[in-house]
Chain A
């Protein structure tokens, strides 16, 4: 499709010397018909046999059942719109067609406008455009790695968990808990002392089960001092390496649990709270006298594990992300070419009139680029309509049905697991019908150009 001819970005061509070229004058005299036929024959034969004939065959085949013998009329089309799996595919295709082209075009526009302002704009464009040169298979493998669930392996979740933990710090000791015979009871993941505490006498809060990785660099625990008018105590790992030691007592070499939140609770209300120091000790004000001490569940919650990118609910947006990574560069390059043909005087005039950069962008640049933007959007929509490889590669088996798209369903229906070539043909014809308006626009534009 002649995307750029409408966008002002001209196809490559030598200078146009033929202003007086008319239809009559251009045609060579004396060309015999058979010469022209010979030149055209290979192309027309290939197109006829492998493009035109298949269109007719698909339309005809879509009216027959799976075996190809029984005429079923429009039943296959009916199935396309009622079958649950195909409806998922349809719904996903709508999401794809609405989201992917608009986001890619918006990003391309922003990149194209901003790269004009830096000297290394070309290098930036090269980086963003590069993914267009690689296969969807390779991109798929790349994004399988990016979207790995385990935050230790997948970079998307590593970054996501990093951000999450910055704003909501991870629990210091996930999995730690008291022994059965400790003076603590469990409720909803929090541990509370059975008895109330008294100011002036230190409380022992022994726990076990802290993970070795969380104990790295831990100091030895020391018994808290009794301080008059304050509630004190120690949180530590009640476990002596190599055995021995008395449960509930801070033995030689037992390690402190640093950073554990300790709350004093009276009648279900938190009256004071403190955090254990490097030696495991904590100090609460006198108001905690007579309260129960509680170690809230936030101390022991399992670490945040990130987002299940390729799980059933996010798989389509995740794959759309990979697509945008591949195709935003396409939008950027076309828009940048359009931008190069925007008269600078118009932008400068707007600036001299006192418009700020945003107003120039919004009121001058974007309207002038509207034809290019339309071409980019339509191009991407056609492209997205036929998306197959990325979905097939990125979606893990468990999410494949949730990520289904028409082209994938067509492949499955025609050659894959649930063979019914009648339905496959119906989907193919449906895809063709969806691009017919673009075919019409193309032809009309070419006719207009030739009349000039």
Chain B
């Protein structure tokens, strides 16, 4: 492409080349402007979380550029002494980690069965599961609330975990089955000739080979559950809510609680952002494999 490119360039007239150069400059300027524009809201939250409540009420966060003395970590020390919010981060972890592990485990078992086990109506069962991909969670809110009430797990962490696992499954099964199906059958047959049972095959061959897909799925589900508010709002223990609900409860007095809200929101973002930056590739491939829920 480059050789062709230069060949074309060489034939261009001087004005055309100047126009191309200017065009390149305009593109760069546009992208830098858009990039800054996109960063501004997040920077605004970060700087707001580093200012005093009175300063926030009096002026905009951009004042710290001219008054760097306004920067303070007071909001964060106040946040660290706010038991509700701090405990809520723990609750969020207690929901997110099991919901992620479970969806991987249950999804992988089913994905393996759909990819490599023989049973009647396999393709129809798989289609049925995939058909559930687009079912909105809203459909399940009232019925599952009733069901959990009967089971005694309404407003409890296990209930939230089960809900997230169930609604993560169609995507998990779809992603993992497609990935597992690409494993060379020679590998599986060799293991089988060595006398390995299906469970052994699953644990020793399929799961390790499924690493990349499992990573994508895990990161995707982790972020999904960590960031969820709706399901937590309904199914989580209101005495020990996860962080999204704990912060949501403070939004009603937005101006009054801005110190806790800004620092708390930033802290709640820290984990997803760290995961995002550490596992960009897996996240992107998870999103690309089908982010619609």
Contact = CB atoms under 8 A, between A and B. Distances in A.
B119 A111 contact: no
Interface stretch (A43-51, A90-98, A216-224, A252-260): A43-51
A197 interface: no
B166 interface: yes
A135 B165 contact: no
Nearest to A444: B127
A382 B292 contact: yes
A115 interface: yes
A442 B115 CA distance: 19
A137 B227 contact: yes
A4 B289 contact: yes
A440 to B, nearest CB: 9
B131 A28 contact: no
A145 B244 contact: no
Interface residues of B, number: 123
A379 B134 CA distance: 10
Interface string B41-56: 1101100100000001
A192 to B, nearest CB: 38
A51 B167 contact: yes
A407 B107 CA distance: 28
A4 B288 contact: yes
B163 interface: yes
Interface string A377-406: 001001101101100110011000000000
A443 interface: yes
B44 A145 contact: yes
B91 interface: no
Contact of A50 (B57, B118, B144): B144
B138 A137 contact: no
A276 interface: no
B109 interface: yes
B10 interface: no
Contacts of B167: 50-51
Interface string A1-34: 1111100010111111110010001111101010
Most buried by A among B146, B170, B175, B269: B269
**Chain B residues touching A, majority SS:** helix
Contact of B269 (A18, A135, A411): A135
Interface residues of A, number: 116
Interface in B163-182: 163, 165-167, 169-171, 173-175, 178-179, 181-182
Interface string B1-19: 1001100100000000000
B106 interface: yes
B117 A428 contact: no
B205 interface: no
B81 interface: no
B198 interface: yes
A2 B126 CA distance: 14
B207 interface: no
B40 to A, nearest CB: 6
A383 B138 CA distance: 12
Interface string B187-216: 010001000001000100000010011001
Interface string A48-82: 01111111011001000000000000000000000
B76 interface: no
Contacts of B170: 47, 51
Contacts of A386: 136-138
Given A145-B44, A351-B8, A117 B142 contact: no
Given A39-B109, A330-B291, A450-B123, A131 B138 contact: no
A41 B27 CA distance: 54
Interface stretch (A148-156, A174-182, A237-245, A286-294): A148-156
B8 A411 contact: no
Interface in B270-293: 272-273, 275-276, 280, 283-285, 287-292
A213 interface: no
A42 B109 contact: yes
A446 B127 contact: yes
Interface in B221-275: 223, 226-230, 233-234, 244, 247-248, 251-252, 254, 261-262, 265-266, 268-269, 272-273, 275
Nearest to B246: A137
Given A114-B31, A143-B41, A439-B134, A40 B216 contact: no
A55 B128 CA distance: 14
Given A31-B119, A138-B269, A447-B127, A118 B27 contact: yes
A1 B123 CA distance: 17
A345 B284 CA distance: 27
A144 to B, nearest CB: 6
Contacts of A25: 185
Contacts of B68: none
B39 interface: yes
Contacts of A2: 130, 133, 174, 289-290
Interface in A111-143: 111, 114-115, 117-118, 123-124, 126-138, 140-143
Contacts of A111: 31, 34
A44 B290 contact: no
A225 B76 CA distance: 62
Contacts of A28: 116-118, 188, 192
A425 B142 contact: yes
B60 A152 contact: yes
Given A13-B182, A427-B138, A443-B131, A135 B272 contact: yes
Given A50-B144, A54-B144, A33 B35 contact: no
Contacts of B142: 54, 57-58, 61, 414, 421, 424-425, 428
A412 to B, nearest CB: 12
B45 A145 contact: yes
Nearest 9 CB-CB pairs, A to B?
A: A135-B227, A54-B143, A133-B276, A50-B166, A43-B110, A27-B118, A39-B113, A57-B143, A54-B140
6 contacts: A3-B290, A16-B182, A137-B265, A138-B268, A145-B48, A385-B136
Given A13-B179, A50-B166, 12 more contacts: A11-B288, A12-B289, A18-B182, A36-B118, A47-B169, A134-B272, A141-B261, A141-B265, A142-B41, A153-B56, A411-B230, A428-B138
Interface of A: 1-5, 9, 11-18, 21, 25-29, 31, 33, 35-37, 39-40, 42-44, 46-47, 49-55, 57-58, 61, 111, 114-115, 117-118, 123-124, 126-138, 140-146, 152-155, 158, 325, 330, 333-334, 337, 344, 348, 351-352, 357, 379, 382-383, 385-386, 388-389, 392-393, 396-397, 407, 410-411, 414-415, 421, 424-425, 427-429, 431-432, 435, 438-439, 442-443, 446-447, 450
